[in-house]
Structure 1
Amino acid sequence: MLISRGVGTIRTLQKLCKNETQIQNVRNSHGWNYRVGPPPPPKFIQVGAEIIQGFAWWWVLWHLWTEPGHIFGEFEYPDPSKWTDEELGIPAC
């Protein structure tokens, strides 16, 4: 019983899939790339993307070099050796 249901389901799915591919071929809404990559973009797009990426990395690295306080904070780290026992929570003996 279960086997016959499975075969019927597979046949139904095959019919549905066949109909979908036929409908999609008729519409021609977009190109289909099965196991093949899309065509490469034009040369000016590649060059423009490289320029924009280069500028973005320059911007980030330049600001990390000149203004590290934005990342690491703009304060002096306190010297732990100068903290008192009370500040550390150590009870007095």
Structure 2
Amino acid sequence: MANVVLRRLNQLVTKRSSLQTYIKPVRRSSSNYQGYREPNYEPNRPFIQRLYHFNAAIMWCYIFWCFRHNWRELIGEKIWPQRSLWTDEELGVPSDEYD
């Protein structure tokens, strides 16, 4: 068995043209493409993906713009009023004697 394999290998190495007989053509069925878990592939998909990426870029620009211009809200420099100092009158709470 090993002798047959070595003889055939020797033939393949010496005759490169015989190698072409062993190459089988590959059937490419790209016209019937179905994406991953997508039974109905959309022909407009590249445009829709570019539209999604554009919208995502606009969203991130807005987020970074807000971070750039409202950075004090992120680090807490805004002084919040102390709730313990508010009176019932300021909060609109009726007094205890009101019945």
TM-score by length of 2: 0.36
**Radius of gyration: which is bigger?**
2
Relative to its length, the structure with more helix (as a share) is 1
TM-score by length of 1: 0.38
